[in-house]
Amino acid sequence: MPCAPTLLTPTYNEAFSSSEANIVLESSEGTLRTTSGLFRTILSLPPLNGRHTHEPIPIHHPDTVIEPILRLMCGLAMCPWRSIDELEAVLTLAEISWDAPGPISSLHIVLSGSKWLTTAPLHLYVLAAHFTWPAEAQRASTHTLALDLSSPAHAPIPPRPCAPCTPTSALHPA
C-alpha cells in the first residue's frame, strides 16, 4: 500500500510569528517569521518577472544565532547568554553578514561588565581587540595574567583580525 505524502507544516518561532508578517526568514534549523527593516535593500530590488514571491529567505545560520540577533534588533527580552562562543557567533553575524551596528553596540555593553572576564578572559580580549574596544581589551588582558598562554586549553580560540593592539604574549612577563 503506497504511503500518502505527508505535508510538513512550517513551525514559527513564537517571538517572531505574526499573522501580519510579510517576510519569512528561514534559518538552517527552522523558520522564523517576522517583519524587519533589515532586508530593506534586498526587498527594494525589483521583483522577478514583475511579481513578488512569498518564498522564505534562507539564512544559513542556526536558530541559536538568528533568534538573539533578531531579539536585539527588535528590542525584545533576551535570555541569558550561555557561552561567549554564542555571543561571538551573534557578533560575527551582525558584523560580517548583516552589517548591523545596533546588536554590536548592545553586545559591547554586555561584554563590558561581564562574567566573561573571569570565565573567558582570553576570548574576551580577542573580541575586544577585534572590535577596537580598548577599555575592555585592557581589562580582559589583566585577567589573562594568571593564564598559561602556551596551554592547549587556550588554542581553540580563533584569532581575529584586529586593530593594532598589544599581543597577549607581550602582556605576560617571560
For 29-53, the pLDDT digits (tens) are: 555 444 344 555 555 666 666 666 6
pLDDT of residue 34: 43
DSSP-assigned letters across all residues of the chain: -PPPPPPPPP-B-GGG--TT---EEE-SSSEEE---GGGHHHHHSPPGGG------EE--S-HHHHHHHHHHHHT---PPP--HHHHHHHHHIIIIIS--HHHHHHHHHHHHT-THHHH-HHHHHHHHHHTT-HHHHHHHHHHTTTS-TTSGGGTTS-----SS---HHHHS--
In which order are the strands placed within the sheet that holds 24-26?
31-33, 24-26, 57-58
Q: Helix, strand, coil: what percent of the chain each, to 5?
A: 50, 5, 45
Q: What is the pLDDT of residues 74-107, one digit of tens each?
A: 888 888 898 899 999 999 998 888 888 888 999 9
Whole-model pTM? 0.69
pLDDT at 148 over 80: no
